[in-house]
Copies of this chain bind each other. A is one copy, B any other.
């Protein structure tokens, strides 16, 4: 392949070295395992949707969409010109728009309520200088029903996420929940009419502070006492159902408020029963202003609140509609790339080694017979589920051990030299042992395996030897902050 221009990383397109990729895989595997334990089916949607469908979510998303063109076409024609009958295509920027389309396209072949998970890359055409990811992986679970969706599904989302996060090597987390009906009912009970405008202002509380929120609310027509009440609602945050009494103590009444409080209390009760200490009712959470209609979720790491939410979602009454049937749903999305990227970047997690291999099978000599012996050992170990690789060459054993050490491979296997072979490295063995603190001396009569961390070397049989459980696969380890 001819060399082209200088290699330079592209900002916003993260890529890992093998050891960090093992960390990422561990997060993805754990999340998938938990999604499946909770009975969600996997789907994968194509990476592209018609641009028209992607941009139907509102003007704000337009600038984030990457559109596709065939190189041959862009060279020959202007961008507006579309030579095929196909709609113009763009890369999806989330997994919700594709889910809506998938549900409509395949509704006749799906069982409702449809419990699906989806772990895929998404793309956003952010300006490179903004330092945001332009390609990243999300892990979503949603329950979609046809017609109506029972409210009890709204408690499932925090339960699934808590079950995943407690298994992961990461700081403690808290899942904040709110219900869109609480703010809306409260504002209506107060006599306010611009619900979305009020929510939008209150949503800025953490950024601009309480005084600015009151100021902005009064500018949009609220009285000072109404603005104060909105602020007081937003400040309620409790780990149990006590938020209900605190809201009533504010003296505002509305049927929608009552409905929202009862719904949120049920979510808090249900989640606390199976995942105590993971949930908090936080009445300032807004999210998805014109999208969510019930419970909403946000998840932060304790001590790392400045990183924002890693896992958000909510209930929506109309994911999609084909004119006859409306599909409501509730879902939550884990921002896997951001989570893993920050944990790795801050040194809060690492993998115990950079390769899946647990064993390096040494080469005794470059003879075809000795190579075959090493391969036979490797084949036997692999059949028994023990990952291994063979040393690339029959260098001195000390060098082969260093090869394993550099990759973090904990064990080196020394096949016994064949009877009829010259076994030129048998003497190197002794030197290798001495150099590396091994106990054995002299040419070996049977296969031996060395734990290169302790230096202990023992006779071993590839049909029976088993590494300690902790060494079988790379471990992913939380690091002290």
Contacts from A to B (Cβ < 8 Å): 1-5, 7, 9-10, 13-18, 21-22, 24-25, 36-48, 50-53, 55-57, 62-72, 74-75, 78-79, 84, 86-87, 89-91, 97, 100-102, 104-106, 109-111, 113, 115-116, 121, 123, 125, 127-128, 135, 145, 150, 152-153, 159, 163, 266, 269-270, 273-274, 291, 318-323, 354-357, 368, 371-372, 375-376, 379, 382, 385-389, 392-393, 403, 406-407
B48 & A13 in contact (Cβ 8 Å cutoff): yes
- Whether A89 contacts B10 by the Cβ 8 Å rule is yes
Q: Does B90 contact A4, Cβ atoms closer than 8 Å? A: no
- Asked if A1 and B36 sit within 8 Å, CB to CB, the answer is no
Assess whether A355 is in contact with B89, with CB atoms less than 8 Å apart.
no
Query: Contact check: which of B71, B320, B375 meets A63 at CB < 8 Å?
Result: B71
Q: Which among B17, B65, B318, B323 is the interface contact of A71 at CB below 8 angstroms? A: B65
Name 20 interchain pairs, CB-CB below 8 A, sorted by A. A2-B56, A7-B104, A10-B48, A15-B43, A21-B41, A24-B44, A36-B356, A39-B357, A39-B388, A46-B135, A67-B69, A67-B74, A68-B91, A69-B69, A79-B79, A84-B128, A111-B354, A111-B403, A115-B389, A163-B382
User: Is there an interface contact between A127 and B84, defined as CB atoms closer than 8 Å?
Assistant: yes
Closest Cβ of chain B to A175, distance in Å, is 16
State which of B7, B64, B387 has its C-beta within 8 Å of the C-beta of A38: B387
Given contacts A105-B9, A111-B354, contact A37 B74 (CB under 8 A): no
Closest to A109 in B: B17
Checking B1, B45, B74, B393 against A150 with a beta-carbon cut-off of 8 angstroms, the contacting residue is: B393
Distance in Å: Cβ of A110 to nearest Cβ of chain B? 7
Q: What residues of chain B lie closer than 8 Å to A291, measured between beta carbons?
A: 1
**A115 near B42: Cβ-Cβ < 8 Å:** no
- How far is it, in angstroms, between the C-alpha of A476 and the C-alpha of B243 when the chains are bound? 49
CA distance A323 to B322 in the complex (A): 58
Q: Are A66 and B68 in contact (CB under 8 A)?
A: yes
Which of chain B's residues has its CB closest to A360's CB?
Answer: B39
Contact A125 B393 (CB under 8 A): no
CB distance from A203 to the nearest CB of B (A): 21
State the CA gap A74–B13 with chains docked (Å): 21
Assembly CA distance A376 to B270 (angstroms): 10
Instruction: Give the Cβ gap from A376 to chain B, nearest Cβ, in Å.
Output: 7
CA separation between A125 and B106, bound complex, in Å? 25
Contacts of A385 in B (CB 8 A): 37
Shortest C-beta distance, A291 to chain B (Å), equals 8
* Cβ–Cβ contact A90 & B71, under 8 A: yes
- Shortest Cβ gap from A231 to chain B (Å): 32
**Residue from B24, B106, B321 within 8 A of A17 (CB atoms):** B106
A62 partner, pick from B24, B67, B71, B355, beta carbons under 8 A: B71
Q: How far is the CA of A371 from the CA of B270 in the complex (A)?
A: 9
B63–A70 touching, CB < 8 Å: yes
Contacts A9-B105, A111-B407, A113-B392 known; 10 new A-B pairs at CB < 8 A:
A1-B57, A13-B46, A17-B43, A21-B41, A62-B71, A62-B72, A66-B68, A67-B69, A71-B90, A84-B128
